[in-house]
Amino acid sequence: MEVIEPIFKESAVKLSTLLLILATNICPGFITLYIFREDLILDLELIKTCILCCAVCFPIWLINFYFISRNIRNQETGFKNNKINLTVIVSSIVTLPVFYLPLIINFYYILSFRSVFQIVFITELVMIIYFILSLRKKKK
């Protein structure tokens, strides 16, 4: 039993990380496309819809992953063996407000598809500036 327990713990961590990535990449893209292009979601097959939703959200997640991995690499953490998992989790959590903030604003004010993505890019730009400033601060 002692041999099996670490396998289940490790697979549970991988599964939860995978679910978090899916939640941050597929769900906001699906909600955004469903609100603005419902016909597109209903006409496509499931796999094509998932790929399209990932295509909407994955670039922002990847940018956050890059900056967070640089940030974690420059600081001493207690997660020596599990840095990639920590980076994936943190970048997924950081990506959530980037996409959900414009969707929440859209419930109160009617926004266009273009306005939603302008808010996404402005929010992401603010986060990138924060990451760059924090990296510069740590180098000093």
> Over the stretch 75-133, which tens digit does the pLDDT of each residue have?
655 555 567 777 888 888 888 888 888 888 988 988 888 888 899 999 999 988 988 88
**Residue 67, CA distances (Å) to 27, 70, 115 in order:** 23, 5, 25
Residue type at 58? F
> Over the stretch 48-83, which tens digit does the pLDDT of each residue have?
888 888 888 889 989 988 888 877 766 655 555 567
Q: How far apart are CA 6 and CA 3, in angstroms?
A: 6
What percentage of the chain reaches a pLDDT higher than 90?
4
Task: Grade residue 24 by pLDDT with cuts at 50, 70 and 90.
Answer: confident
**Number of domains the chain contains:** 1
Residue 125's domain comprises: 4-139
Q: With a threshold of 0.95, does the pTM exceed it?
A: no
